[in-house]
Structure 1
Amino acid sequence: MKEEIQCGYKELILETYEDFIDLIRPDLQQIKQILNCPDYKLIYRGQADRDWLLNASLFRNKPINSIIANDYSGICFMNWVQLKAFIEGCDLNAAIVPFDSYQFRKELMTEFSGKVAFDPRSWPDSRLFELIAYAQHYGVPTEFLDWSWSSLVASYFAASQVVEIGENKGYMSIWVFDTEKRNLLNPQNQMNFELIEVPRGLNQNISSQKGCFTLVRQDIPRGSTLTYDDNFQRFKEIKLLNELTNEKKIENALLKISVPKRFAPDILSYCSAYSINAATIFRGVEGAAIYAKQSISIEEYRNKIL
Structure 2
Amino acid sequence: MTPLEIPFSTARQLFDCVSPLNTMWDTGRYIFRGQPDATYKLTPSVCRRGAGSFAYGSARRTFDTSSNGQVSFELDILKKFLDGCDKSGLIVPGYTEHLKNKFHNEINSFMSAHIPWPPASLYEIMAVAQHYDVPTRLLDWTERALVACYFAASSANLEVDTNMPRIAIWALDTSQAKHWETVKVIRTPGGTSKNQAAQSGLFTTHNVKDYSFTDSYQVEALEEVQEIYYKTGAYHPLIKVTMPVSEAPDLLNLCARFGVDGSTLFPGFHGVAKSVKDWANVEVGVRMSQSARDDANADSYDPDFY
Interval of TM-score (by shorter of Structure 1 and Structure 2): 0.7 to 0.9
Q: Which residue of the partner structure matches residue 230 of structure 1?
A: none
Q: Report SS of the residue matched to 2:190.
A: coil
Amino acid across the alignment from 2:149: S
Between stretches 8-17 and 77-86, larger displacement belongs to: 8-17
Structure 2: stretches of 5+ with no match in the other structure: 51-55, 291-306
Give the 5 Å matches for 1:248-259. 249-250=230-231, 252-259=236-243
Give the 5 Å matches for 1:41-52. 41-52=29-40
Q: CA deviation at 1:65?
A: 5.5
Query: Which residue, 178, 181, 186 being the options, matches 1:183?
Result: 178
- Does residue 75 (structure 1) correspond to residue 56 (structure 2)? The answer is no
Distance (Å, rounded) in 1 between the aligned partners of 2:224 and 2:211: 18
- Does residue 207 (structure 1) correspond to residue 197 (structure 2)? The answer is yes
Q: CA deviation at 1:260?
A: 1.3
Distance (Å, rounded) in 2 between the aligned partners of 1:127 and 1:166: 43
Kept after mapping to 2: 8 A contact 1:8/1:246: no
Kept after mapping to 2: 8 A contact 1:163/1:301: no
Q: Report SS of the residue matched to 1:266.
A: helix
- Does residue 21 (structure 1) correspond to residue 15 (structure 2)? The answer is yes
Q: Deviation digits for residues 30-52 of structure 1, max 9, x if unmatched?
A: 333xxxx2xx4210000011100
Normalising by structure 1, report the TM-score: 0.83
- Does residue 270 (structure 1) correspond to residue 270 (structure 2)? The answer is no
Give the 5 Å matches for 1:1-306. 7-32=1-26, 37=27, 40-62=28-50, 63-64=56-57, 66-67=59-60, 69-113=64-108, 116=111, 122-163=116-157, 166=160, 168=162, 169-185=164-180, 191-218=181-208, 222-226=212-216, 237-245=218-226, 249-250=230-231, 252-306=236-290
Change (3 A) 1:219 1:103: closer
Q: Deviation digits for residues 52-84 of structure 1, max 9, x if unmatched?
A: 000110012345462352212112111111111
Amino acid across the alignment from 1:261: V
Distance (Å, rounded) in 2 between the aligned partners of 1:20 and 1:42: 16
Normalising by structure 2, report the TM-score: 0.83
Q: Deviation digits for residues 77-125 of structure 1, max 9, x if unmatched?
A: 1111111111111122211111222122113453322663857x72111
Kept after mapping to 2: 8 A contact 1:43/1:147: yes
Amino acid across the alignment from 1:264: A
Distance (Å, rounded) in 1 between the aligned partners of 2:229 and 2:248: 35
Q: Report SS of the residue matched to 1:122.
A: coil
Change (3 A) 1:289 1:266: same
Distance (Å, rounded) in 2 between the aligned partners of 1:132 and 1:64: 24
Identity among equivalent positions (%) equals: 27
- Aligned CA-pair RMSD: 2.4
Distance (Å, rounded) in 1 between the aligned partners of 2:272 and 2:228: 44
Kept after mapping to 1: 8 A contact 2:42/2:223: yes
Change (3 A) 1:183 1:101: closer
Q: Which residue of the partner structure matches residue 4 of structure 1?
A: none
Change (3 A) 1:165 1:46: farther
Between stretches 175-184 and 152-161, larger displacement belongs to: 175-184
Between stretches 156-165 and 214-223, larger displacement belongs to: 214-223
